[in-house]
Every structure is written in C-alpha cells, then in structure tokens.
Structure 1
Amino acid sequence: MKKTSLFILIIFFFLSTMGHASQFVSSQISEVTLFSNQAMVVREGQTHLRPGLNELLIETTAFNVDKDSVSAQVFGTGEMVSVQIKHIPLAEFPQDQVNTLAEKLRKLNQSRKGLSDKKRVLAKKESFLDGLIDFSKTQIPKDVQTHYPNMEDVQETISFIGSTSTLIYTESQALDIDLENVDREIAKVKKELAAVSGRGRAFKQAIEILFNATKAETVRLNVQYLVKRALWQPLYKVSVPMDLSELDLTMFARISQKSGEDWKKITLSVSNVIPIKGVRFPDISPWQLDLPRPAPTLLKRSQTKAMAVAQDAMELDEEIQSGAGAPAEYTSASARELPLSFEYKMPFPVDIDSRDQFSILPLLTKKLSADTFHYSLPGKTSLTFLVAEASADKELLAGKLNVYFGGRYIGDTYLSEKKPGEPFSMNLGADRDVKVLRKKLKDKVKETYFGTIQRKTVVRSFSYKITAENIKDKPVTLKIVDRVPVSKTDKIEIKDIRLNPAPTESNYQDKEGVHLWVFQLSPGEIQEIDLDFTVAYPSEATPFGL
C-alpha cells in the first residue's frame, strides 16, 4: 500500500512538472532610479497565463545584477511561488556580432600598419633630404672657392629641396591625421568588442517568476533589480550677471551608464540614497586607559616639500554683447523628499544607452540672492578677488561647480556638501581696481651682545604695513586676511603684538594668528593696517618659517 501511494505521488509530481508552462515574456525597461553607485531598474511586460504553475522568464542583458535585490509583481489571480535570477544555457553561442567586430578590428589594424609603413618611408625621405641639405652646405662653398657655380643648377637644387620638403611635410601631416583617426576608431571598436564579448555568454540571463494561476487570464508583470556600473554625480552651473544681482544656480545630473542594457524612453529619477547591504548597528568598545610605552626606533623618512597651488586670475571685458530676446531656461525635475533622502524625477522620457559616455540632464534651477565683496590675502598674493557668496534653501550635494560671469565661463571649483542655509563662495576673478599691498617696514635685531658676552636670546622686531585702495567709481566691501606668527615651542616667544586698526575677527576660521579685517571703501578711499610684533628665540638657531 505504501509503495502504491509513493508511486502515485511520483506520477503526480512528474505530470505537474510536465504541465509546467515555461515562456519568455517580452518586456521593456519602463523606469530607472539612479543612485550614487548603482541603479534600480524596473521592467514591465504582459503575457497570458493558463491555470496551474507558470514559469515566466524575463530576459535581462545587464552585466552585473544584484541577485538579492530581485523582486517581482504579477497583477493577476493566483499566488507567487518564487522569484530568482536564472541562467539558461544556449544551444549555440551567439558569436556573429563578436566576429563582425573582430574582423573590423583586424582591418583597422592592417590599415594602421599601412599608414605606419608610409610614415617610415617619409621619414627615410626626410632623412635623405636632410643629408642632401647638409652636403650642399659644405659643397657649394667649396665650389664657390674653386669656380663660379652654374646658377641654373643652384636654382634647380634649391627648388627641388623646397618642393620636396613641402611635399614631405604635407604628406606627413595628412598621415598623422589619418593615424589619429584610425587610432580613435580602433579604441572605439575595442570598447564595443569588450562590451559585446561580455554579452556573448553561453547562456541567457533571465528573471524567473513561478506563479500559480487559478484561471486563464492575461496579466501584467513588474520586475525590479539593482545593476552595477550605473551612477550619477551632481554637477552645478552658476551664472553671475554683470550687475551682481541674483545668481542662477542650475544643478545637473552627470550620468554614467555602462550596465549592459540600453534605457529607451524611460522614466528617470535620481536619488541621493545609498542602497546598502548587511546593515548593522554600530558597536562600542571598552574605554581603556594606559600609560605610554617607549616607541620602537624608526628610521626617519625624508621630508617632502609641499607644492603651492596658485590660482590664475582672469580679467573680463566689460562689453557683453546681448542677443535678441531672453535666453531659454533649463527644464526642472520634480523633487520629492523622502525620510532618508530626496529624489528628482525627470519630467519627460529619456534615452540613455549603455556606453562609455556621460549624459547630463538638468535637475533644478534656482535664483539666489548673493552678497558680493572683494577678498585679499596680501601675504600670499598681490591680487584682489571679486567674490560672490550665496546660500541655497535646499541641501546641495558635493560636486563640481562651473562658474559663469556675465555669460562667460571663467573657471570651476568644487562645491562641498551644503546644508540648507549654509553659504558657499565663488571666485569671479581678479579686480585690478581694488589694490591691496603688503610691505615690510622693519626687521631689526636688538643688541645681541652684553659687552663682550653674546646674549643667549635673539630679539627681532618686525613691522608691516598693508595699504588698500579703491580706485573704482563705486563703494566696495573689502575683506583682508593676514596673519602674525604663532610659536609651536616654548623656546620661541611672540610678544608686543600690535594690530592697528583692531581686526574685525581674530583667529579667523579657528586659525590661530589669522585675522580678518572688513572695510567699506568709498571711491578713492585708502585704508591702512599696521602689524607690529617681536620674536625672541635662542641665538644658536634661527626659527623655521620666520
């Protein structure tokens, strides 16, 4: 009896398996949400089910799918059994496209070899011509000493050398251009071949959905999965008008998409959330105290000199040509704030192919009120910079910031992450109509001997004068930042510090010895700052940095 029951169960299982409906479902990518290191892809499809267990396969050509992220929905009558990534072996390896690209690459390499051979022949011709020129430099003067040369022969020689040199140069230039074009095409084909070779697998990759349908019906499918090699980064453009009124800040999404799937007519959103795996609460270790122990003797490493980075100043022409009518503005994405992040959704369908190229899409444009002032560090540079400072009402992610002044690109900077209301500054270039100069007036060493005995301490007095002048025809706000030395050892003493006028802010930006002065300079006004201090140090060693 038991054997009969087991046999019936095996037959039932076999028949249910044979009745298993397996089908590939045509689908399209309908929606993508881009994160900073990956993307969530949504595919949609439609198919007809029959009663019982149905195996639905939705193919994906993505290179790297996070198998743990795969989920699916079936909008029909029945119940979900399972969802997973499945690799389906192919009867034949799809090699046609690989072979086509490989043959194209072979022909391009042959073409490049032919161009390189022609280049070598030209090099030999050029070498021969150079030898002929060197020979003529010595032979013609000898002929002049012995007999007068035939002018027709000289003219023919000069004409031959000139025409041949021109021809060699022209052909060499043309070959260089051809080689550059071929190299560019070879690089392109290699990238395409690498991408296709990744797709040319001996299996199909599909998302398998097992669905137990209670009746025959047409259903709609929705699957989601995370893919790698797709990301976005913020990119900003700020436009400052010549009248220094409101700023136009535009935030773009700089998108890189090499997932292996082309995105056609998709609804695109970008998010600042970072999907993570293996989320754990932070742990805490015991707070232990100990006494210091002697450190092992280590070899000293050689000191490296820091390279100072100087920012180039840029002068702008005051004449700005205005076009007919106002320029069109960028479109904006719709913003949505989530509990842990925000998202921007593009207002129109977009196409983004899987390739080694960036796509740039606008997310938002804001008009910001700006405070402008002049900024000077006379101890570092003689230039005075025009600066615009603004703050956004929304959070700004870190990213590259391109600055335009009066419609002209003047440079870029890096915008660190800013919270709502936190200010950020932009350098608009050097303004030569606001001058700030720093001059050393005194560096005097006091008497170092007491009679015939040398003192153990050297005392030096320093005086500096900073002179600021506004030669513009309108008032300006000027911020000057300068410093006095700070001792890092008790063997060096800084005393008798006198700053006149007193700084607006001492220890500016929490930097000891750095001071800020803020002045409102009328047209033609001159403002001076006096800095005096005394440094005392041991006579056997001059302080480093003085």
Structure 2
Amino acid sequence: MSKQTSASSAELIANGSQNFIRQVTVFSQRAHVSRRVNASATIGLNRFAIEVTAFEVDADSVQARVFGEGEILAVQYQRIPVPQIVQADLKALDAQERQLRQQKDTLKAKLSSVQRQQTFLDAVANFSSVEVPKEIQTNMPTIGHLQDLLQYLDDNAQTLLEREQSLKADIENLDKELGAVQQHLKQLRVNQTKKNQPEKTVIEVLFQSRQAQPVEIEASYVAGRASWLPIYKADVSASHDISLTLFAQIKQNTGENWSNSILKVSNAMPVTTGALPEIQSWILHESMAYLSESLDLEKTALCASAIEAGAAPMQAAAAMQRAPEAHFAQASSTDKGTHFEYELPNPVDLSSGARESLLPLRRYSPPGKFFHYTIPSEEALVYWVCRLLPDAGLPSGRLNIHFDGEYIGKTLFTEKRPGEDLLLNLGVERHIKVLREQLANQKTETFFSKVERHTFTRELGFNLIVENLKAEAVTVLVLDAIPVSDTDRYQVKEVTLNPQPDERDWQDKKGVMAWRLKLEPNQEQRIQQTYLVKYPKDNPPEGID
C-alpha cells in the first residue's frame, strides 16, 4: 500500500534552507514577498505548511504554485498549533541524535581497543618482576635486546596514551552535543503535550500528488511594515552639466530577514478599493476669498552657500595618472505600463528592524536648461533651477545637491505635473536680488444715490525690482499674479503692466503673468503694475481689505 499524508496532519516546512525568501518587491507602504520551498511529496494528498514569520500578512494576497506531477487543491493563510504539525525539525533532530550515538559507539570501541593494547604493554613491562620456573628458563637477553625492548615499550605506551586522551576528548564533546540535541528534543515533545499550544503562521498548500516525488513550491504574499522612498543626488559641474542619481531608502520591519534575496522597488500604487471614481457637478459658489489663482508650486527655501555658476575654477589635473572614477551600480528598470519597477543588480541582505538602507537605483544625465526663478509676492528669494525633459521613471523624493563636487544642501524633487515644466530646484541664488515694493494702496468709497448699499474702490500698485550682482549675464523668470474674479460683485479694472509680460495666464493659471528678464552684470530692471479693485463694502475679498 502506498504511503499517504492525511489532511488532518501537515508537514511544517520551517523557515530556513528549504523555505527561504527568494525575491522581494517593495512598494510605498508594503512589500510583495516570494518564497521558494523544497519539499517531498508522497502519492496521494499532501498537506504542506510553509512557515511565514511576517508580522502582518494580507491573507487575500497569498498565492502558491507547485512544480510537480499533481493538482493543487487549496491554498490558504492560517495559524496552526504546533502539535498539529509533523515537524521537519523534529525529524532532523531525531536523525541527528541517532548519528551522534553511532559516532559515540564507534569512539568507545576505539578507546576499548587502545586500552587493551595498553594492558598488554603493561603486562610485558611487568614480566621482568615475575619469577620464571627453571623448566622454562632461557638464556638472558643481551643488553642490546633489552634496550630495544624498552624503547619499543616507551614509544608505544606514549602513542597509546595520546590516542586514549584524544578519544576521551572526542567522546566528551560528543556527549555535550548529544545532550543539547536531547534537551531540544525533550522541549519539543513537552510543547506538544501542553494545553496552550504555541502557534505558527503558515501558508497551507493541499497538493494531490500522482507519485512520490520532490516538488518545488513558490509561495507569495504581501507583508506590511516595509516601505521605500526615492532620494536623489544632483551633481552640477562648473561647466553646468548635470547628472541625477536615484537612490532607494528602504525601511524593513516585516518580521522576516531578507537574506541574499533579489530586491526590487516599485512606484506602483496597489489598488485598495475596487470602485471607480465618479464625476460630480462643479457648482460655483460666491467666494469670500481673494480669488487670485495660486501658483501651486512646491517651493522649499534653501538657505545654502552662494552658488556662483562658473565661479569655481577647474583645478589643475594631478600629475599622477589616476584610475578611472567608479560609479554607482545601477538597477535594471522595467516599464510595467502603469508604473516602473527597479531590480537591484545583486542580491541583498536586509534584516527586519535594521537601520534604513540607501541603495542606488539609477544614474543619468538629462538634457536641461538652467535659469533663475522668482515669485516676489511669495518671498524675496531667487532660485537657481534647471528645466529637465520629462521622465516617467522619476518619482517624487528628497534631492541632495552637489555643486562641482561639494554638497550645498537639499530640497525636493517633484514629479512632472500635466501642462507644467519639470523644474529642478538647485537652491537659492544669493547674487540676484529681488524686491516687491508697494506703490499705491488707496481706498475710495462710492455711493449709489439714495441706495444705502455702497461700494469701495481700491487702487493698488506694486513695483518689482530685480538686480543682477553677478559678473555674468543671467535670465530670470519673474512670476506674479494679478487678481481675477469669477463674479460680478468683484471687478478688476484698469490693469497696467510695464513692461508687458512675455506670457499671460502662465501654464493656464488665470491671472498669472510671466516675465523673462535678461539682465547684464550689475543691471537692475523694474516691473510696474497697477490696477483697481471694486467690491461691496459688506463683502470685501480676502487679501484686499
């Protein structure tokens, strides 16, 4: 009769050499873990319990594939009391105990043989003290014979003593190892008899095998407490070449160690709901707020060392021939259609709960255009920026800036938005000054004959001053917003801009004006703007009154 495994018992395949994590894909807040498992199947129904030690597992994400002759009947994630499982480690310990006992028996037999030889030598050495009967007496040995005999006894006695001591030491070590194995076995068997049994989390695979065979199982699941963030390093040379290096900052606290595993990071957004978004009517309500379009630009003020483009001279080449510069290893990138995935070039070891790991993913030199950028109404700072060609494989993240090999600070790298340029913030330019000063802020009250309601008219005027203190010409993009209204209760009239902007409604932002100023060294340029805003006295717009 063929041997079968009943569904009431399972073989626990403990986390180890026969059940290991082969590949991990890290998402923004979770990780997809793939295990490779080796097992032996008997003919008939086999119940494999694949141990998983992750703290948090999405039970709905569990999958398994079995490579062998047969059919998969079920795959599920569950907790199983230890005594319900025929443990692979218990079997291994039993086999180890038997092997140690056999080794001990062999050593004891060798020790007994050595001791018998010692007894014989002792008998020969003591023979001289025994009185020999006359009838068996022979001639006395010569002096030479006696010396040879004594040397033989001495040499063999020393050899046998050393062998005896070595065998006793080996037996003592075996006894210690055997005792540890027996203690472990005893503890496992005690645990099986306890009422409050410990549990193991497992992926249970029911497999109907057509024959006795070794099988390979690939089990996968989504584990929590893992995440990654993109971090960039921007290298800007004195000749204004730029290169970006993308790193992955990985946090790993899943409860499982990723040892020698293939590691991938992905910017995919796992689906958390099956419902499609619904479009709603956009009802415009009268606003109490000042309705100037905000520029919706994420800016990080970076108070770093002054960046003087081209000011840092190239150092003379060293007289000694240097080896070529080593670069970061790069991960392979795969476009998955809806997202990008990066696979690191070599397997990694990441222990659960370890410190954050920073691993390089990609380095490339995108074409870009450098210029300066300012929004005086927001802050009196000018930023040095680079307009890059869009790249879908670059997610948002922290950006560390290095200019001509020196670290100057950090800022944010944001993904390209629809209709907007991909701008790389390289920090504050201290050698270009900007000021927004108010020229007029005068309010006039207007009455409507006998009607009690009255309206205010406010005249506003501003002067934008941009000055280039650098020793070279620069181009500065100046952005400012003119108030606009979507209701007849507020009116903006008599708008005067001098000089005229190069672009109105910049990037489809209503009321946003853009000037591209080309300033020579030590040149100053002013932009004047005036306008009238009319509004009800009892309902002033925000930011005007």
Q: TM-score range by the shorter chain?
A: 0.5 to 0.7
Does residue 212 (structure 1) correspond to residue 208 (structure 2)? The answer is yes
Alignment of 1:233-312 (within 5 A): 233-245=229-241, 247-276=242-271, 279-280=274-275, 282=276, 311-312=301-302
The equivalent residue for 1:418 is: 416
The equivalent residue for 2:402 is: 404
Q: Which has the larger radius of gyration?
A: 2
- CA-to-aligned-CA distance 1:436-483 (integer Å, 9 cap, x gap): 34444455678999xxxxxx7766655544343334332211112234
The equivalent residue for 1:386 is: 384
The equivalent residue for 2:177 is: none
The answer as to whether partners of 2:412 and 2:425 remain within 8 angstroms in 1 is no
- CA-to-aligned-CA distance 1:326-348 (integer Å, 9 cap, x gap): 65322111112224333211110
CA distance in 1, matches of 2:408, 2:398: 14
The answer as to whether partners of 1:415 and 1:424 remain within 8 angstroms in 2 is no
The answer as to whether partners of 2:306 and 2:430 remain within 8 angstroms in 1 is no
Distance 1:541 1:418, change over 3 A: closer
Match of 2:11 among 11, 18, 23: 23
Note the C-alpha offset of 1:249: 1.6
The answer as to whether partners of 1:394 and 1:419 remain within 8 angstroms in 2 is no
Does residue 478 (structure 1) correspond to residue 476 (structure 2)? The answer is yes
Distance 1:539 1:350, change over 3 A: closer
Alignment of 1:60-459 (within 5 A): 60-90=52-82, 202-245=198-241, 247-276=242-271, 279-280=274-275, 282=276, 311-316=301-306, 319=312, 327-355=325-353, 357-418=355-416, 423-442=421-440
Distance 1:202 1:513, change over 3 A: same
So what's the TM-score if we normalise by structure 1?
A: 0.63
CA RMSD of aligned residues (A): 4.2
Question: What is the count of residue pairs matched by the alignment?
Answer: 404
Structure 2 counterpart of 1:223, which letter?
Answer: A
So what's the TM-score if we normalise by structure 2?
A: 0.63
CA distance in 2, matches of 1:421, 1:535: 30
CA distance in 2, matches of 1:506, 1:215: 77
- CA-to-aligned-CA distance 1:468-502 (integer Å, 9 cap, x gap): 33343322111122344446875665433221211
CA distance in 2, matches of 1:492, 1:283: 35
Matched residues, percent identical? 36
The answer as to whether partners of 2:6 and 2:47 remain within 8 angstroms in 1 is no
The equivalent residue for 2:106 is: none
Q: Describe the SS at the equivalent of 2:329.
A: coil
The answer as to whether partners of 1:392 and 1:420 remain within 8 angstroms in 2 is no
Note the C-alpha offset of 1:272: 2.7
CA distance in 2, matches of 1:400, 1:506: 32
The equivalent residue for 2:506 is: 508
Structure 1 counterpart of 2:63, which letter?
Answer: S
The answer as to whether partners of 2:6 and 2:46 remain within 8 angstroms in 1 is no
Distance 1:340 1:526, change over 3 A: closer
CA distance in 1, matches of 2:390, 2:261: 30
Note the C-alpha offset of 1:224: 1.7
Structure 1 counterpart of 2:370, which letter?
Answer: T
The answer as to whether partners of 2:226 and 2:252 remain within 8 angstroms in 1 is yes
Q: Describe the SS at the equivalent of 1:261.
A: coil
Distance 1:262 1:529, change over 3 A: same
Q: Describe the SS at the equivalent of 1:311.
A: coil
* Runs of 5+ consecutive residues of structure 2 not aligned to the other structure: 85-195, 286-297, 448-453
- CA-to-aligned-CA distance 1:191-226 (integer Å, 9 cap, x gap): xxxxxxxxx982122222222323333232222222
Q: Describe the SS at the equivalent of 1:273.
A: coil
* Runs of 5+ consecutive residues of structure 1 not aligned to the other structure: 1-11, 93-199, 293-307, 450-455
Distance 1:490 1:86, change over 3 A: closer
The equivalent residue for 1:5 is: none
